[in-house]
Amino acid sequence: MDTTPSKDDFDAFENELREKLDCEVISHYRDYFFSSDLFYDGPLHMNAEGAKKGRKY
């Protein structure tokens, strides 16, 4: 069973944060999500392709 929230759920959460935080939100955190096929053996270890894509952030 996939428990990943939908794009709309992520957008609603981000909008709620923007409303409640007392600071400017300067980026969309969804921009920093990476596909699981870009990881090697865990959530902190990217493969070569993932490392290339991750460097731009």
Give the pTM: 0.53
Top pLDDT among 17 and 4 is at: 17
Instruction: Give the model confidence (pLDDT) of 9-44 as tens digits.
Output: 989 999 999 999 999 888 887 787 788 888 888 767
| Structural domain for 37, as ranges | 7-54
Residue predicted with more confidence, 6 or 3: 6
Looking at residue 29, its amino acid is Y
User: Strand, coil or helix: what is 40?
Assistant: strand
Number of domains in the chain: 1
Q: Is residue 2 part of a domain?
A: no
Closest Cα partner for 11 from 19, 22, 23, 3? 19
pLDDT at 2: 72
The pLDDT of residue 32: 77
Residue 11 lies inside a defined structural domain of this protein: yes
* Pairwise pLDDT comparison (1 vs 17), residue with the higher score: 17
Place of tokens 């990476």: 34
Residue 35 forms part of a structural domain = yes
| Cβ neighbours, 10 Å, residue 20 | 7
